[in-house]
Amino acid sequence: MRIGDRFGKEVAFTEDSIRQFATYVGDSNPLHHDQTAAAASSFGRLIASGIQTFSMMLAAVPDYLRPWQPNVGLEASVQLLRPVRAGDRARVEWEVTDIADTPKLKGWIVSVSGRLVRDDGVVALKATSKSLVYWPDSMRL
């Protein structure tokens, strides 16, 4: 793990995944459920909720940190810039921006900065996240 490391993953947004995620989190916005309402909107089709797109971005962080177990998320923030529509594919891109030695917490705070880029090249989200990676043998599970 080094500052400047880059990681990410490919993600896809289907009508079914958009509806299922919105239903699961209790988001009743018709733009996530009703094809007719979404078609009549400026988006032209169903759009994923911001929570769904951000969640899919964040999921790449613990995947990257897996070799340095255990680790936990500490904070995250997001800027929702453009919609992600049903049928879109996207690339999640993260970069490690800081690694801070934190003796009080017996580990490192790893900061990352990222974005979600739709398949048409548009940046839909920008985000930051911090995770605590415990030093080896500093925490018993």
How far apart CA 75 and CA 90 sit, in angstroms, is 23
pLDDT tens-digit series, residues 87-129:
999 999 999 999 999 999 999 999 999 999 999 999 999 999 9
Query: How many Cβ atoms are within 10 Å of 72's Cβ, its own excluded?
Result: 13
Spatial strand order in the sheet of 6-12: 6-12, 89-102, 107-118, 123-134, 71-80
Angle between helices 50-58 and 15-25 (to 10 degrees): 100
How far apart CA 7 and CA 9 sit, in angstroms, is 7
pLDDT tens-digit series, residues 75-85:
999 999 999 99
Q: Domains in the chain and their CATH numbers? A: 6-134 (3.10.129.10)
